[in-house]
Homo-oligomer: A and B are copies of this chain.
């Protein structure tokens, strides 16, 4: 231990009372598997906050995380993170970055610094030691603002040729076809659907997106209430004991669970988890409440938020650390009732996508590998994003079988009598989240802005007075405004979410762009000539198609046009999905078709190893990233999306697309979100 000894010679005796505590932290950046990471050592005042995004920024390294023991061993020949002191830096043989807090540097040279319980050192001696290392330190102002994490990244990522030529600054400046992620982010923020938030991976749902969610809630809530589901609310907190009760289940969630360990200034005796989903939150109480088969079925649902602290790249609506959803949890006496309900709910989910969001989906069953951990089988609705050619899971309805009921002793006496075996309840759980909004935006919107399907849009039609010129007299102007307002009023009375923009400070053209950006389905223009002819000009957001509507038919025509718009959006999206869902029977055609932005229907053996092989074999192998990266999507392997209910006919003796086994059905594979 000569190194440590030589370091200790630099040290002085000291005490907590008259020294300044200093921390030394070691980070590992995200690094390609084939490459050697460059560790980052941070030496800073205990009181200085050293956020990882800031470290990333000043070192130009990706996603630094606190290093684990293995890195300490490899780089610094130090047994563990716990045993590490700055002395070990002398052991390093390969490059590391060393960041020194400039507040520490600005201390008086004679200040005594406390490095750990027993190590004290003068500031001058510490800096001398650090400056003498093989790799030179960098001074860092940790109080500087971190540049917003995601926004600028996207902006940088946008190839310059993705800029839209005729884009005004106020509108969308990125081309959907050329820089899809940059476009997606712009469309959401400029369309005022959502804003980025101070805590990474969390987003603000602004009124236009929350209203979509409310419309979905209304539709879905009334349907589940019709089949006897009741709403309830369970707490967001779970004790670790309860969370961990179902092993398979918790394994799927454990890495993403957020833990509360402190309240005010008191440490909690036991950390408490924030629910990532509520199976284990609810079922102990189901077991308590269900005392007899007469208490079955029990069908509860809640509208709530859950937290999954994903470490992957967050994506608005699609992958967020907190998200809104509904989760239904039902328990039945018989398997048949339960499995019937699973499919009934799946139909409702398909309805949310197809009837409300104008998004086509494929219904099917998840493979063993992709099913809900702890459940019996998972049904799903799967969507498709044409720009990326990736599949996206829409919503899932799980049959849990008796797995949880046995774990939580959710059982009742057999209705046939006490001499028959008791029956464990058959359970389902099913969930639909705000992710649906992201899917909807990705599919319909365009380079002018959002396109929001009319049945969910907060505002369905905007009335805009036009044809007002300098020559227009005040009386004429008033007449136009009054007539426009009358249209707005009549539409509202007819139950259409209409509004008017009568602000004279803006030109009609400016207003058109505004409401195109925001995705209002219909624009209703009314000018002097229209009034003469007792008509209005109605323009569809999605394709600028114009309708001349007689004012006498307003209340009947506008709903029709809204419905046509919905159907056209749906049909267009369906055509894209249908033409990019191709049947591939031979492996040689698999990856080429994947690369053509298709999802693939292939005969498959149903074996998990083969599924993993397909994923591996269809991935680009040279990406070298430790983690899956969204912007490297084409490198991704194909996952199984679902085994569609609607199956192409399987030929006699058809083999699996990948292996030598016999195919048991067609499975839909694709790169996915």
Q: Is A368 engaged at the interface, CB distance under 8 Å to the other chain?
A: no
A197 near B235 (CB under 8 angstroms)? yes
Assuming A207-B230, A263-B257, is B269 touching A235 (CB within 8 A)? no
A232 near B205 (CB under 8 angstroms)? yes
Q: Is A309 engaged at the interface, CB distance under 8 Å to the other chain?
A: yes
Cβ-neighbour of A260 out of B50, B231, B259 (below 8 A): B259
B270 near A51 (CB under 8 angstroms)? yes
Within 8 A of B (CB), among A257-283: 257-267, 269-272, 274
B205 near A233 (CB under 8 angstroms)? yes
Assuming A198-B284, A264-B257, is B204 touching A234 (CB within 8 A)? yes
Residues of B within 8 A of A269 (CB): 49-52, 66
Within 8 A of B (CB), among A30-78: 49-52, 65-66
A259 near B262 (CB under 8 angstroms)? yes
B66 near A266 (CB under 8 angstroms)? yes
A458's nearest neighbour on chain B, judged by CB, is: B230
The complex places the Cα of A562 from the Cα of B288 at a distance, in Å, of: 34
B235 near A204 (CB under 8 angstroms)? yes
Q: Is A293 engaged at the interface, CB distance under 8 Å to the other chain?
A: no
Residues of B within 8 A of A254 (CB): 264
Instruction: Give min CB distance, A32 to chain B, whole Å.
Output: 21
The complex places the Cα of A522 from the Cα of B433 at a distance, in Å, of: 38
The complex places the Cα of A239 from the Cα of B51 at a distance, in Å, of: 12
A211 near B230 (CB under 8 angstroms)? yes
Residues of B within 8 A of A257 (CB): 263-264
Task: State the copy count for this chain.
Answer: 2
Q: Is A255 engaged at the interface, CB distance under 8 Å to the other chain?
A: yes
Q: Is A529 engaged at the interface, CB distance under 8 Å to the other chain?
A: no
Q: Is A210 engaged at the interface, CB distance under 8 Å to the other chain?
A: yes
Q: Is A664 engaged at the interface, CB distance under 8 Å to the other chain?
A: no
Residues of B within 8 A of A587 (CB): none
**Mask of A447-465 contacts with B, CB within 8 angstroms, 1/0:** 0000000000010000000
The complex places the Cα of A239 from the Cα of B211 at a distance, in Å, of: 27
A320's nearest neighbour on chain B, judged by CB, is: B235
A237's nearest neighbour on chain B, judged by CB, is: B199
Q: Is A92 engaged at the interface, CB distance under 8 Å to the other chain?
A: no
The complex places the Cα of A254 from the Cα of B238 at a distance, in Å, of: 22
A262 near B258 (CB under 8 angstroms)? yes
Instruction: Give min CB distance, A120 to chain B, whole Å.
Output: 17
Instruction: Give min CB distance, A323 to chain B, whole Å.
Output: 10
**Mask of A580-623 contacts with B, CB within 8 angstroms, 1/0:** 00000000000000000000000000000000000000000000
Q: Is A347 engaged at the interface, CB distance under 8 Å to the other chain?
A: no
Residues of B within 8 A of A66 (CB): 266-267, 269
Residues of B within 8 A of A239 (CB): 198-199
Residues of B within 8 A of A304 (CB): 305
Residues of B within 8 A of A270 (CB): 49, 51
Q: Is A214 engaged at the interface, CB distance under 8 Å to the other chain?
A: yes
Residues of B within 8 A of A272 (CB): 199
A322 near B206 (CB under 8 angstroms)? no
A322 near B207 (CB under 8 angstroms)? no
Q: Is A554 engaged at the interface, CB distance under 8 Å to the other chain?
A: no
**Mask of A273-312 contacts with B, CB within 8 angstroms, 1/0:** 0100000000011001100000000001000110101010
A203 near B235 (CB under 8 angstroms)? yes
Q: Is A413 engaged at the interface, CB distance under 8 Å to the other chain?
A: no
A233 near B285 (CB under 8 angstroms)? no
Residues of B within 8 A of A125 (CB): none
B207 near A231 (CB under 8 angstroms)? yes
Residues of B within 8 A of A264 (CB): 254-257, 309, 311
A309's nearest neighbour on chain B, judged by CB, is: B263
Name the residue in A50, A204, A271 with the highest tally of chain B Cβ atoms < 10 Å from its Cβ: A204
Residues of B within 8 A of A197 (CB): 234-235
Cβ-neighbour of A285 out of B49, B204, B260 (below 8 A): B204
Instruction: Give min CB distance, A192 to chain B, whole Å.
Output: 8
A256's nearest neighbour on chain B, judged by CB, is: B264
Residues of B within 8 A of A238 (CB): 198-199
**Mask of A424-453 contacts with B, CB within 8 angstroms, 1/0:** 000000000000000000000000000000
Within 8 A of B (CB), among A610-653: none
Within 8 A of B (CB), among A167-224: 195, 197-199, 202-207, 210-211, 213-214
The complex places the Cα of A289 from the Cα of B204 at a distance, in Å, of: 12
Instruction: Give min CB distance, A456 to chain B, whole Å.
Output: 14
The complex places the Cα of A311 from the Cα of B51 at a distance, in Å, of: 31
The complex places the Cα of A422 from the Cα of B267 at a distance, in Å, of: 45
Residues of B within 8 A of A87 (CB): none
Instruction: Give min CB distance, A16 to chain B, whole Å.
Output: 10
The complex places the Cα of A309 from the Cα of B266 at a distance, in Å, of: 10
Q: Is A12 engaged at the interface, CB distance under 8 Å to the other chain?
A: no
Instruction: Give min CB distance, A147 to chain B, whole Å.
Output: 16
New A-B pairs, 10, CB < 8 Å, besides A213-B233, A257-B264, A305-B305: A49-B269, A49-B270, A195-B289, A199-B235, A205-B233, A205-B234, A210-B232, A237-B321, A260-B261, A263-B309
| List of 9 A-B pairs having minimum Cβ-Cβ separation, nearest first | A263-B309, A202-B235, A207-B230, A255-B264, A205-B233, A259-B262, A199-B237, A261-B261, A258-B260
Report A's interface with B, CB cutoff 8 A: 49-52, 65-66, 195, 197-199, 202-207, 210-211, 213-214, 230-239, 241-242, 254-267, 269-272, 274, 284-285, 288-289, 300, 304-305, 307, 309, 311, 321-322, 324, 458
